[in-house]
Amino acid sequence: MPTVRVQLVAGRTTEQKTACGVAVTEALMKTLGTSRDSIQVVFEEVAATDWFTAGVSIAESRKKAAAA
Protein backbone atom coordinates (compact mmCIF):
# COMPACT_ATOMS: atom_id res chain seq x y z
CA MET A 1 0.00 0.00 0.00
CA PRO A 2 1.89 3.11 -1.18
CA THR A 3 1.54 6.13 1.10
CA VAL A 4 2.81 9.51 -0.08
CA ARG A 5 3.24 12.36 2.42
CA VAL A 6 3.27 15.81 0.89
CA GLN A 7 4.67 18.54 3.13
CA LEU A 8 3.85 22.06 2.09
CA VAL A 9 3.49 25.52 3.51
CA ALA A 10 -0.09 26.15 4.60
CA GLY A 11 -2.28 28.16 2.28
CA ARG A 12 -3.15 25.95 -0.68
CA THR A 13 -6.82 25.62 -1.51
CA THR A 14 -8.81 22.43 -1.17
CA GLU A 15 -9.08 22.39 -4.97
CA GLN A 16 -5.29 22.56 -5.36
CA LYS A 17 -4.73 19.75 -2.87
CA THR A 18 -7.42 17.65 -4.54
CA ALA A 19 -5.80 18.12 -7.95
CA CYS A 20 -2.42 17.19 -6.49
CA GLY A 21 -3.84 14.12 -4.74
CA VAL A 22 -5.43 12.93 -7.98
CA ALA A 23 -2.23 13.55 -9.97
CA VAL A 24 -0.05 11.70 -7.44
CA THR A 25 -2.50 8.80 -7.36
CA GLU A 26 -2.54 8.58 -11.16
CA ALA A 27 1.27 8.72 -11.30
CA LEU A 28 1.64 5.89 -8.78
CA MET A 29 -0.92 3.77 -10.59
CA LYS A 30 0.97 4.26 -13.85
CA THR A 31 4.52 3.84 -12.57
CA LEU A 32 4.02 1.21 -9.88
CA GLY A 33 1.14 -0.68 -11.45
CA THR A 34 -0.79 -0.56 -8.21
CA SER A 35 -4.52 -0.16 -7.71
CA ARG A 36 -6.17 3.16 -6.94
CA ASP A 37 -7.70 1.74 -3.76
CA SER A 38 -4.31 0.92 -2.27
CA ILE A 39 -2.85 4.43 -2.62
CA GLN A 40 -2.91 7.00 0.16
CA VAL A 41 -1.87 10.66 -0.15
CA VAL A 42 -1.48 12.68 3.04
CA PHE A 43 -0.96 16.44 3.14
CA GLU A 44 0.98 17.90 6.04
CA GLU A 45 0.68 21.67 6.19
CA VAL A 46 3.36 23.68 7.97
CA ALA A 47 3.11 27.34 8.93
CA ALA A 48 5.40 29.64 6.93
CA THR A 49 6.96 30.71 10.24
CA ASP A 50 7.92 27.10 10.99
CA TRP A 51 9.65 26.24 7.68
CA PHE A 52 13.22 27.41 7.25
CA THR A 53 15.59 27.32 4.30
CA ALA A 54 19.19 28.45 4.78
CA GLY A 55 18.27 29.71 8.25
CA VAL A 56 15.46 32.00 7.06
CA SER A 57 11.77 31.25 7.48
CA ILE A 58 9.55 31.24 4.44
CA ALA A 59 7.49 33.96 6.10
CA GLU A 60 10.56 36.19 6.35
CA SER A 61 11.60 35.38 2.77
CA ARG A 62 8.14 36.39 1.58
CA LYS A 63 8.34 39.66 3.50
CA LYS A 64 11.70 40.47 1.91
CA ALA A 65 10.43 39.57 -1.57
CA ALA A 66 7.33 41.75 -1.13
CA ALA A 67 9.45 44.71 0.01
CA ALA A 68 11.78 44.43 -2.99
Active site residues: 2
Alpha-carbon distance values, 32 to 4, 6, 24, 25 (Å): 13, 18, 12, 10
Bridge partners, 9 (sequence order): 46
